[in-house]
Amino acid sequence: MKAKIFVTLKKGVLDPQGKAIHASLTHLGIGGVEDVRVGKFMELTLKETGRDEARMRLEEACRRLLANTVIEDYRIEIEG
Amino acid sequence: MKAAVLVFPGSNCDHDAYHALKYVAGVDAEFVWHKQSSLAGFDAVVVPGGFTYGDYLRTGALAKLSPVMGAVKRFAGEGGPVIGICNGFQILLEAGLLPGAMIVNGSLHFVCDYVYLAAETSRTPFTGRIPPGSILKVPVAHYQGNYFADEKTLFSLEERGQVVFRYCTPDGRITEDANPNGSARNIAGICNEAGNVLGMMPHPERCAEAVLGSEDGRQVFDSMVSWLKERGK
Amino acid sequence: MREMPVSPERAREHGLSGEEFERIRTLLGRDPNFTELGIFSVMWSEHCSYKSSRIHLKKFPTRGPRVLQGPGENAGILDIGEGLAVSFKMESHNHPSYIEPYQGAATGVGGILRDVFTMGARPIASLDSLRFGRPDHPRTRYLVNGVVAGIAGYGNCIGVPTVGGEVSFDECYDGNILVNAFTLGIVRHERIWRGTASGVGNPVIYVGSKTGRDGIHGATMASGEFDEKSEEKRPTVQVGDPFTEKLLLEACLELMRTDAIVGIQDMGAAGLTSSSFEMASRAGTGFLMDLDRVPQREEGMIPYELMLSESQERMLIVAKKGREDEVRAIFEKWDLDVSVIGEVTGDGMGRVQWRGETVAEIPVAALTDQAPVYDRPSARPAVQDSLQSLDPAGLPAPSDLAEVWVRLMSCPEMADKKWVFRQYDHMIRTNTLVLPGSDAAVLRVKGTGKGIAMSVDCNSRYCRLDPFVGGMIAVCESARNVSCAGAEPIGLTDCLNFGNPEKPEIMWQFRSAIEGMAKACEALSVPVVSGNVSFYNETMGKGIHPTPTVAMVGLLEDASRHLVQWFDAEGDRIFLAGADRLGVHLGGSLYLREAHGKVAGTPPPVDLDHERRLQEFLRAAASDRLVSSAHDLSEGGFACALAESCITRPDGAVGARVVNPFAEAIRADFAMFSECQGVVLLSCRPAGRDALLAAARPFRITMVEVGVVGGEHIDIEGVARVGAADLHKAWREGFAKGLGLDG
């Protein structure tokens, strides 16, 4: 069983990397991009267990370690 | 009087802090490995700079889980003086001992350079001998020193006198140009509400001797010595 | 990957010639299998075997009263007194850095750090010599960004300050940049360790990161020319993990404080293969190794891959029998893998087992002592004569000399490198007495009054025009930089970056440069204690300028007596020491390239006897506190040296007023920008004038007083004048501007 976790900077937190990437895209002539936000993507391989159980554990993992909720939001996707 | 210098995997300013404490400020100092869970016998704690756990995941995020951090929380809760420098500051933020978080420098580059700091309060054990309004020349060296907190937190930090240092020009003006990393309101160092826990990005241990270009950082350690002496340590 | 049948064609794909393949068959008395072929190919590669360079490297002086370890080990070691020694080396990581600049440069730093702490020394400082193509070449900006970030990413994380170095640009590096990394460490004499596998029955222990398929054939890549497909070689570039290396450093130094070990070596190029065979070779022993016990990161790796992997942050240790648990405890404390993978044997054979079978069985000597050695043909290239011809009178004289002056000082070659140094942590460990930007970096040695000065140098245009003289100048200039800091040059390490040695004209450049360097080393009594050769620096048949980079190490008995290159105070008097060596020398000069678009002529002449006396005088003047600053004339000549002494000061620019030290009849642009060897700009307090002049006499150094520090302008009377603040601004902004980098 696999879980995907997306950690992104909260709205309103300045993202210097996103800003720089946005500027570079514009330089390259790739227009139409309004904003870029850079985040982290993690893939976790889990021992087989119930989805609810897994989600509960992952929520805890995100809150306590994988994301810093002062500046970051997270989203969990469980596959299979 | 004895100070603990914490050592995590990846700490790399531990020897510098030890040197400044022992050979400049004359404090008995000892390294404490991160797996230790007691700080018994210590009167002050230094969380030194470095790249604990390679800064992987987030700066300080993995170090906050070390056993010694439980002891640091208890020590701080009892009013013991704790200073986190650079990565040490980042660890204290992650551990929840200080409010806010660090993000990548606005320049997207690591920055190692001398900066000027305006001191705002002498209420902490580490700034007792630094009158508010003093200007200190101290180096920074970091990639993620861009302090962030929401408006409410920033307001409350200022309201309660928890901003200890701000980046400034050599003549003490708080300007955007004087800010090396994009920190909110030029914040370089803050303390907790009680004032006994200080976190700062600049490195006082790197400028505690005149031969190194500045000895302004020495005032931080000398303040700590006075504070402890006044309390019979 | 799977095993493949061995044939002469397969050998050729591995970079082995037909003759070399035959030699392998003779040495083994049979055909090698696939694993053995891989082992031979990396051990006999230019990178590991020095087969084309060895006979010439012997020309270097390598002995001296301070030498505790000369070439042939992981790093050289010199005694600095009080039971302490310095260990240092420089190494190239050119090809990997061109392909993937961040990781290439980062792992270059990681490798050289391991070479130094393997000897038992704690690294205290690094320098880097970086050479890129034209500032406006489309790839240059990307490479500069990546290389600088890679050096910073690795060095800052492990906590070793990068205290200086050089950053240089030339068209010849457009398709082949140079990244030469230097590290110096401090070690107590009794804690020096070497890479030796002695004591039959002693365990062979693997420590550090797990092995993956990283950089398979990195060593042979470093020994092959570039072509259009080089960028496709990306997967073979290793990825560095400075955090693991920091743990490895602390664990190794902790282990070395015990006496549980016999020898230790970094798994650098050619990984497990070179470390095991080289350690056995030094001890005259053999070994038995079981690959199943090698910690592995990936599944399904075959012996060929395990033996050739260049995964970073790994070490091989030979411990004393029965002390395995002590080793294990220390590495487990630091969360590092540790595994006993074999033992030392007495029969001179290297045997490798995998899944219960012997997969390689090679006499150690066949890979080391019996590796091929070539005396390759060399011939002075026909173009050399036309290169050296230059008619200065035919150069158009610029109408605005002040404008040319500003242009030279703000070209990326000369401009302020703060954009680079700000990204390096250059203060950590609190030893750095002179921050980046002076002729030499100076560090204190804690617990003593001593200081160490270091400088890395090479003018590759000089080497292109005359490799012999260019080689001499590289040594003289780096020694002079160290002497300008008040330190005595005690030894050097080098990175010899050249083109394809199979071409006679490249071999001529190589041997000429070495002969020039050796001559200068003899004259200045400086031994070569370590170094590295990087051949095949060519892209599509076009070679770089010969670039023998020299890193000089100097010792100050009293660190407080060090000097810097910038003027100290208004009113100080300015002198030229060695003024009789001034002359019109435009060959290979920066002025010729920047203002006239030429690399031509002959480099400035060198007088080794004068050089020696000049440097002795500089050290005496520093030691007796007779001077406030010292800066040698190099790129950009008198005008640029003067400007640098005025504007490189950390406290802001200052002006100066001087007379033209050249005869009036000489063209003004030639007087300003002629490059001379053996001339130094000094300054002293007005009251110290006579004492300084008197001090120069016993060394027979010609002193000419040229002017005084102060004012708003830098003014060479009757020749040219610029505002100090204006020049300062142009110099500060030149680097980022010239490369199109954001501030």
Three-state SS sequence of B139-201: EEEECCCEEECCHHHHHHHHHCCCEEEEEECCCCCCCCCCCCCCCHHHEEEEECCCCCEEEEC
Q: For position C726, what pLDDT does the model report?
A: 97
CB pairs under 8 A between A and B: 39
| φ and ψ of C261, to 5 deg | -115, 165
CA–CA distance, B51 with C428 (Å, rounded to integer): 12
Whether the per-residue pLDDT at C231 is higher than 60: the answer is no
**Closest to C611 in 3D by CA, of C722, C473, C490, C505:** C473
Number of Cβ within 10 Å of residue C742's Cβ equals: 11
In one-letter notation, the amino acid at residue A43 is E
Sheet of A2-9, strands arranged across: A39-45, A2-9, A72-79
**Closest to C442 in 3D by CA, of C329, C591, C556:** C556
Task: Say which residue, B106 or A13, is predicted with more confidence.
Answer: B106
CA–CA distance, B157 with B192 (Å, rounded to integer): 9
Q: What would the mean pLDDT of C512-524 be, rounded to a whole number?
A: 98
Q: Which of residues 18-57 of B touch A (CB under 8 A)?
A: 57
Per-residue b or e along B107-146, where b marks 16 or more CB atoms closer than 10 Å to that residue's CB: bebbbbebbbbbbbbbebbbbbbbeeebebbbbbbbbbbb
Which stretch of DSSP H or E encloses residue C681?
strand C680-684
Is the CB of residue C229 less than 8 Å from the CB of residue C301? no
C-alpha distances (whole Å) from C460 to each of C57, C328, C545, C548, C611 are 19, 48, 6, 8, 20
Q: Quick check: C189 contacting B, CB < 8 Å?
A: no
Q: Quick check: C420 contacting B, CB < 8 Å?
A: no
Local confidence band at C222 (pLDDT 50, 70, 90 cut-offs): very low
Local confidence band at C542 (pLDDT 50, 70, 90 cut-offs): confident
In one-letter notation, the amino acid at residue C530 is S
CA–CA distance, C651 with C649 (Å, rounded to integer): 5
Local confidence band at C236 (pLDDT 50, 70, 90 cut-offs): low
Per-residue b or e along C640-657, where b marks 16 or more CB atoms closer than 10 Å to that residue's CB: bbbbbbbbbbeeebbbbb
Number of Cβ within 10 Å of residue C570's Cβ equals: 12
Q: Which domains does chain B have, with CATH numbers?
A: 2-230 (3.40.50.880)
Q: Tell me if residue C93 is catalytic.
A: yes
Sheet of C261-266, strands arranged across: C261-266, C314-319, C203-208, C337-345, C286-290, C349-354, C357-363
Which tokens in the block code for residue A4?
Answer: 């995907």
Number of Cβ within 10 Å of residue C332's Cβ equals: 12
Q: What angle in degrees, to the nearest 10, is found between the helix axes of C34-43 and C18-28?
A: 120
Q: For position C233, what pLDDT does the model report?
A: 45
3-state secondary structure of C602: coil
CB contact under 8 A, A20 and B105: no
Q: A interface mutation test: which of B90, B104, B147, B153 has the most A CBs within 10 A?
A: B104
CA–CA distance, B106 with B145 (Å, rounded to integer): 9
Contacts of B93 in chain A (CB under 8 A): 70
Q: For position C234, what pLDDT does the model report?
A: 40
How far is the alpha carbon of A69 from chain B, nearest alpha carbon, in Å?
9
Is the CB of residue B127 less than 8 Å from the CB of residue B188? no
User: Mean pLDDT score of chain B, rounded to an integer?
Assistant: 97
DSSP states of B194-228: TS-EEEESS-GGGGSBGGGTB-TTHHHHHHHHHHH
Q: What would the mean pLDDT of A62-76 be, rounded to a whole number?
A: 93
pTM: 0.94
For residues A62, A65, A66, A72, the Cα torsion angle rounded to the nearest 10 degrees is: 80
A40 pairs with which residues across the strands?
A7
Q: For position C232, what pLDDT does the model report?
A: 46
**DSSP structural state of residue C539:** E
How far is the alpha carbon of B20 from chain A, nearest alpha carbon, in Å?
33
Q: Which chains touch B (3 or more CB pairs under 8 A)?
A: A, C
Which tens digits make up the pLDDT trace of C133-161? 999 999 999 999 999 999 999 999 999 99
Length in residues, chain B: 233
Q: What would the mean pLDDT of C235-243 be, rounded to a whole number?
A: 78
Domain tally, chain A = 1
Q: What would the mean pLDDT of C347-361 be, rounded to a whole number?
A: 96
**Which of B61, B146, B149 has its CB closest to that of A68?**
B61
Q: For position C226, what pLDDT does the model report?
A: 56
Whether the per-residue pLDDT at C327 is higher than 80: the answer is yes
Q: What would the mean pLDDT of B73-91 be, rounded to a whole number?
A: 98
- The residue of chain A nearest to residue B61, with distances taken between CA atoms, is A65
Local confidence band at C230 (pLDDT 50, 70, 90 cut-offs): low
Is the CB of residue C590 less than 8 Å from the CB of residue C399? no
Q: Which residues of B are catalytic?
A: 86, 203, 205
Which tens digits make up the pLDDT trace of C502-513? 999 999 999 999
**Closest to C668 in 3D by CA, of C595, C619, C738, C735:** C595
For C391-546, strand residue ranges (E) read 432-434, 441-444, 451-457, 488-497, 528-534, 538-539, 542-543
Whether the per-residue pLDDT at C1 is higher than 90: the answer is no
Residue with tokens 């302090």: B147
How far is the alpha carbon of B207 from chain C, nearest alpha carbon, in Å?
8
Q: What angle in degrees, to the nearest 10, is found between the helix axes of C608-623 and C467-484?
A: 10
C-alpha distances (whole Å) from C570 to each of B153, C109, C567, C630, C707 are 50, 41, 8, 16, 11
Structural domain that includes position A15:
2-79
pLDDT above 70: percentage of residues in chain C: 97
DSSP states of C247-293: HHHHHHHHHHTSS-EEEEEE--TTHHHHHHHHHHHHHT-EEEEEGGG
Residues in Cβ contact with C384 at an 8 Å cutoff, skipping those fewer than 6 apart? none
Which tens digits make up the pLDDT trace of C19-57? 999 999 999 999 999 999 999 999 999 989 999 999 999
CA–CA distance, C256 with C381 (Å, rounded to integer): 51
Q: What is the CATH number of the domain that holds A44?
A: 3.30.1280.10
Number of Cβ within 10 Å of residue B160's Cβ equals: 12
Local confidence band at C4 (pLDDT 50, 70, 90 cut-offs): confident
